[in-house]
């Protein structure tokens, strides 16, 4: 059984089914089927599939290798509602039960979900120790650090612009606006910028992904139909907006009107100071 690309390479535009192939310049094999090319993000990659009987023909000793021979992965499909924990418990002494002389060795087979084999693929003494998931955690940690630095930069920029917003806060407080309303205003501004930045990032991502995939010869796709993807993304935007806007909202809303309005210059260039005359402040 050949994949479409290798069949095209070997036979061109001819129909490869039924055609012979010389294996290792020793034996002729017959093509029985052609399948589509496998996705590049699939863990198990191959260009051709051969029956196990052919492997036994080229290596006759494999028939009598015994239960302790570990030469390839074995993939099985469990029945519905099967318990993986219970099956692994029953498999613990399976090999030594078949060949008691192997009890001096540690032979304890177990099943592992194939859906996890891409990220969790490193074992030591039958125990899972990691795999590609370590790289995912590393990049996720770096991404969180960059995002945290961006939040701090936003806080610094908002604080640096406090002089421009101070008069706005002072006037609104003087007109009776409560501090909570001002805090929510600055928080909503931060959330709006966070979601705006998210859409800008998506636009840049869609423009960059084709060039990135072509450069590294990989296929990276975004599953926009995934509810989990949108839940995590919206939650991340909310947390980022709240975190970045927390300090500016508390800081800017804490301004005292009499201090920020003192020394405010009018249109004619005169400076108005706070002074009480007959119960009125001018």
- The per-residue pLDDT for range 149-183, each reduced to its tens digit, is 988 888 887 777 666 666 666 676 777 777 777 77
Q: How far apart are CA 182 and CA 255, in angstroms?
A: 11
In a domain, 122, yes or no: no
In a domain, 104, yes or no: no
In a domain, 124, yes or no: no
**Residue 256 lies in domain:** 166-281
Q: How high is the pLDDT of residue 259?
A: 64
Domain end call among 39, 64, 89: 64
Is 67 in contact with 98 (CB distance < 8 Å)? yes
Q: How high is the pLDDT of residue 278?
A: 41
Q: How far apart are CA 125 and CA 112, in angstroms?
A: 14
CA distances 200 to 188, 195, 196, 203, Å, are 18, 9, 6, 5
Q: How many domains does the chain have?
A: 2
Q: How far apart are CA 212 and CA 232, in angstroms?
A: 24
In a domain, 239, yes or no: yes
Domain end call among 21, 42, 64: 64
In a domain, 107, yes or no: no
pLDDT tens per residue, range 96-151: 777 776 666 667 778 888 888 888 888 777 777 888 889 889 999 998 999 889 88
In a domain, 145, yes or no: no
Asked if the model's pLDDT at residue 2 lies above 90, the reply is: yes
In a domain, 11, yes or no: yes
In a domain, 125, yes or no: no
Domain end call among 16, 45, 64: 64
pLDDT tens per residue, range 28-46: 889 999 999 988 777 788 8
What percent of the chain stands above pLDDT 90? 10
């Amino acid at each position: 059984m050949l994949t479409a690309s290798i069949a095209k390479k070997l036979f061109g535009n001819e129909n490869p089914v039924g055609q012979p192939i010389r294996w290792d310049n020793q034996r002729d094999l017959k093509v029985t089927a052609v399948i589509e090319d496998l996705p590049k993000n699939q863990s198990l990659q191959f260009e051709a599939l051969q029956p196990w009987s052919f492997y036994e023909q080229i290596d006759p000793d494999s028939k009598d290798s015994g239960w302790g021979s570990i030469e390839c992965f074995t993939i099985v499909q469990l029945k519905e509602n099967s318990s993986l924990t219970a099956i692994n418990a029953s498999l613990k002494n399976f090999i030594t039960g078949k060949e008691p002389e192997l009890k001096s060795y540690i032979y304890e087979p177990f099943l592992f979900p194939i859906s996890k084999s891409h990220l969790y693929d490193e074992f030591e003494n039958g125990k899972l120790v990691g795999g590609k998931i370590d790289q995912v955690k590393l990049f996720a940690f770096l991404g969180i650090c960059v995002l945290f630095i961006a939040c701090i930069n936003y806080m610094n920029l908002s604080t640096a612009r406090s002089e421009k917003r101070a008069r706005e806060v002072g006037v609104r407080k003087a007109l009776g606006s409560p501090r909570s309303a001002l805090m929510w205003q600055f928080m909503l501004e931060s959330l709006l910028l966070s979601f705006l930045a998210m859409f800008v990032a998506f636009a840049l991502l869609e423009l960059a992904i084709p060039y990135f995939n072509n450069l590294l010869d990989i296929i990276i796709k975004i599953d926009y139909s995934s509810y989990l993807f949108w839940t995590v993304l919206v939650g991340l935007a909310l947390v980022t907006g709240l975190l970045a806007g927390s300090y500016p909202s508390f800081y800017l809303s804490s301004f005292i009107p009499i201090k920020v309005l003192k020394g405010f210059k009018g249109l004619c260039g005169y400076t108005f100071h706070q002074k009480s005359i007959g119960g009125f402040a001018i």
